[in-house]
Chain A
Amino acid sequence: MKKTITFFITLLSLASFSQQDSHISYGFESNSQYYLDDSKTGDFLESNRFRSNNFFKIDYYYKNFYVGLQAESYEPKAMLNYSPNLDKTNLGLYYVGYKTNKIAFTLGHFYEQFGSGLILRSWEDRQLGINNALRGGRVKFSPKEYLHFTSFYAKQRKGFAVSKGNIVGFNSDFDISSAFNFENSSFSAGFSYVGRTQERTETNFDYKNSTNLFSSRVEFSKDNFYSNLEYVAKGKDAVIIQNQIKNAKKGAALLANFGYAKKGLGINATFRRMENMNIYSDREANGNIYNESVVNYLPALTKQHDYLLTNIYVYQAQPQVSFQDPSLIKSGEIGGQLDLYYKIKKGTFLGGKYGTKIALNYSSWHGLKADYDFAGFDYETEFLGFGQKYFSDLSIEVRKKWSKQWNTIFYYVNQSYNKRYIEETFGEINANIFVSEATYKMGKGKSLRFEAQLLATNDDKKNWAGGTVEYNATSKLAVYINDIYNYGNDNVDQQIHYYNVGGSYTVGAHRFALNYGRQRGGLICIGGVCRNVPESTGISANITMSF
């Protein structure tokens, strides 16, 4: 391992010394935490109070060639609730490649996405502990500037190892309007194939070693209007319920999107239906809580909120088949969301001197309407039928600049969260959340920001209140303090303050941050993907550096 690193680095440095057409980019990220005992939430009972996740990535470019690697270190242990496969220090990624505008080759690890990712996406999210990069060979070929092909054969990264299953992919994108010189509109189409091959287990259910997925999509835009449509068909694959194969079923996804945008106004509507759409590079990975071995990207299509109290009840997409008990069966989800952005002009009564910006979002998600056979682990869905409601969310944001010094944001959210179906536990929550934020600029990078939040509900843990004060002393140095307080909890012992204080210092592309506080347990969601984290108290340090 160490020899490999030395070898790479020697290679890189030699190359960089000798050549003019070369350049290097590297980045370092370190996230560490020292966990403390807490008189309110309990002692730290795991091993290793100090834990640290570290990443070092380097890329070297010479003419059309590139080579790179990412070393990762989880020492003495990864932070709480990361996959046990992320352990100790090792090479996470390594790759070499050649790229021109016509053709590109990659050997080693690579990230890839076909279409919107419904059929295939590999990506990295260090905070969530996700890295499902593919390791193998990839060729990209663009014979014309309107025609692009990609194909690859790979295994998928899992911890520092790779999947048992093999993945083969083919993608084509055809920009029809460029090919035929359409003047006023744009029209493009795409087609993808993804196959996952893994030896099947001996069962009576009818599925093969290979599972095939096909995606077709079109995109059209004219003047201020735009739309796109994607359909994915997934071939028969084992349905795994609580680690046992209980059936073999097909899957499908349909995504439709329409939008209209002109200066000062934007509207977007999305509809999506997914049935049994999970696909993992290893079948056994089905439903794992670390998001490992995930081949495709099925995020919740809801607004990603920015405030602490708006992120307590976060929806997660429900593409999977689940048979918990006769009253809790799932086979997918159906629903949509609507976005509206509007700018009230400067100089009008509501617009004031600087204009007022309004953003509205509504999303609603349901289970599929289906005939379920609990004993036989089987179902028959209706194509456009809406079943049990899982989630809805309505939010309104008003941003207003009052003067050169004052900026405010008002934010209101109404949420309905069916915890029983989403988390497969119990309960249903209806909540109203109010947030107001004000920023006061004092010039020369000095500014003060206040946030007040309230979550009102009669369900679950009842009411919460929260606040933040952030002070930017210069454009480099910032300190903050925040607290959310579950003051409405029926259990007095559970009326806990989750407070945090911290600061950050930024120099150019480098940032150093320190934080002390108590973290609320539960789902931490980034980019529509969630990870369950335990309640914890401690001191954390984060360093990110880019060169």
Chain B
Amino acid sequence: MKKIVFLYLFSFSATCFSQKKIPNINVTTLKGKSVSIESQLSKDKVTVLVFWATWCVPCINELDAISDVYEDWQEETSVDLIAISTDDSRTQKRIKPMINGKGWEYQILLDKNQELKRALNITLIPHVVVLKGNEIVYRHTGFAPGAEDELYEMIKKHSK
């Protein structure tokens, strides 16, 4: 029985590696508007989604690290980074003061009850999803200082 399950899993996962569209899930803007994630992506361009939360130290470290070089990244590749907060209502109110206090230039979207996070089967944050148009081309979980350089290599590769 188990073997059959795995065989099935393996076979259809293989067929699906080529097709990885982002699911059509609604997220909320900082002004409280509900928008579909797809509508926030620009066609043919590379967009990076970073799933984070105000209480997640490695997430903050990653977004702080990228913040230092974000201007250069945008100039060279015109990549857009969207920081998707998975904060629940306990910490949601901290998002606005925090991003301003940090001086981050990212677009911020709220995944209030983690619908998008779950749809992408993300269990740990920080989690980075690199998209070309609306197709997922790369995913990464966790952050180690310096890993932003590897992410940038990936962005450059897909920006061509």
B partners with A: yes
Partner of B127, one of A443, A472, A509: A509
CB <8 Å contact, B15 and A16: yes
CA distance A46 to B68 in the complex (A): 51
Name 12 A/B residue pairs within 8 A (Cβ), A-sorted: A9-B9, A24-B13, A101-B24, A175-B32, A266-B101, A268-B97, A339-B93, A339-B94, A342-B101, A343-B101, A546-B123, A546-B127
CB <8 Å contact, A341 and B97: yes
A439 contact set on B, CB distance < 8 A: 145
What is the total number of residues of chain A having a CB less than 8 Å from a CB of chain B? Answer: 99
A353 to chain B, nearest CB (A): 11
A12 contact set on B, CB distance < 8 A: 12
CB <8 Å contact, A546 and B142: no
CA distance A101 to B138 in the complex (A): 27
Known contacts being A59-B121, A259-B97, is A447 close to B141, with CB within 8 Å? no
1/0 contact string of A49-63 vs chain B (CB within 8 Å): 000000001010100
Does B76 sit within 8 A of A, measured CB to CB? Answer: no
CB <8 Å contact, A27 and B114: no
B86 to chain A, nearest CB (A): 10
CA distance A145 to B89 in the complex (A): 23
CB <8 Å contact, A186 and B89: no
CB <8 Å contact, B97 and A299: no
CA distance A116 to B90 in the complex (A): 8
CB <8 Å contact, A266 and B97: yes
- Residues 69-128 (chain A) with a chain B CB within 8 angstroms: 99, 101, 111-113, 116-118, 121, 123-124, 126
- From B88, B139, B150, name the one whose CB has the most chain A CB atoms within 10 angstroms: B88
- From B16, B57, B91, B147, name the one whose CB has the most chain A CB atoms within 10 angstroms: B16
Counting from the closest, the 6 A-B pairs by CB-CB distance are A341-B101, A266-B97, A27-B121, A299-B90, A13-B12, A509-B139
CB <8 Å contact, A270 and B121: no
Does B43 sit within 8 A of A, measured CB to CB? Answer: no
Interface stretch, picked from A245-253, A300-308, A385-393, A454-462, is: A300-308
A335 to chain B, nearest CB (A): 14
Known contacts being A23-B19, A221-B31, is A444 close to B88, with CB within 8 Å? no
Name the residue on B nearest A2 (C-beta).
B1
CB <8 Å contact, B119 and A25: yes
CA distance A175 to B149 in the complex (A): 40
CA distance A5 to B149 in the complex (A): 42
CB <8 Å contact, A59 and B23: yes
Known contacts being A6-B5, A61-B23, is A304 close to B55, with CB within 8 Å? yes
- Residues 481-513 (chain A) with a chain B CB within 8 angstroms: 504, 506, 508-511
CA distance A98 to B4 in the complex (A): 29
Name the residue on A nearest B146 (C-beta).
A445
CA distance A378 to B2 in the complex (A): 57
B: interface residue count bin: 35 or more
Known contacts being A123-B88, A510-B141, A546-B141, is A175 close to B33, with CB within 8 Å? yes
Known contacts being A23-B21, A300-B90, A306-B57, is A123 close to B97, with CB within 8 Å? no
CA distance A26 to B144 in the complex (A): 25
CA distance A357 to B67 in the complex (A): 13
Name the residue on B nearest A148 (C-beta).
B34
Name the residue on A nearest B122 (C-beta).
A546
Known contacts being A5-B5, A509-B140, is A116 close to B89, with CB within 8 Å? yes
CB <8 Å contact, B146 and A547: no
Does A527 sit within 8 A of B, measured CB to CB? Answer: yes
B31 contact set on A, CB distance < 8 A: 186, 221
Name the residue on A nearest B142 (C-beta).
A506
CB <8 Å contact, B16 and A22: yes
CA distance A65 to B1 in the complex (A): 28
A116 contact set on B, CB distance < 8 A: 89, 92
B150 to chain A, nearest CB (A): 6
A526 to chain B, nearest CB (A): 9
B15 contact set on A, CB distance < 8 A: 16-17
CA distance A444 to B153 in the complex (A): 13
Give 11 A-B pairs besides A123-B88, A261-B96, A358-B101 with Cβ atoms closer than 8 angstroms. A16-B16, A26-B121, A27-B122, A59-B119, A117-B89, A121-B89, A266-B99, A341-B101, A472-B144, A474-B144, A506-B142
Name the residue on B nearest A301 (C-beta).
B90
CB <8 Å contact, A66 and B23: yes
CB <8 Å contact, B123 and A508: no
Partner of A341, one of B92, B98, B140, B142: B98
CB <8 Å contact, A263 and B100: yes
A285 to chain B, nearest CB (A): 21
Does A211 sit within 8 A of B, measured CB to CB? Answer: no
Known contacts being A24-B12, A29-B123, A300-B90, is A263 close to B103, with CB within 8 Å? yes
- From A124, A266, A297, A340, name the one whose CB has the most chain B CB atoms within 10 angstroms: A266
B90 contact set on A, CB distance < 8 A: 297, 299-301, 304, 527-528
A246 to chain B, nearest CB (A): 30
CA distance A20 to B140 in the complex (A): 25
1/0 contact string of B130-142 vs chain A (CB within 8 Å): 0000000011111
Name the residue on B nearest A140 (C-beta).
B26
Partner of B16, one of A2, A24, A474: A24
A75 to chain B, nearest CB (A): 13
CB <8 Å contact, B100 and A475: no
CB <8 Å contact, A178 and B8: no
A27 contact set on B, CB distance < 8 A: 121-123
CA distance A444 to B140 in the complex (A): 17
Does A414 sit within 8 A of B, measured CB to CB? Answer: no
Does A161 sit within 8 A of B, measured CB to CB? Answer: no
Partner of B146, one of A20, A399, A443, A511: A443
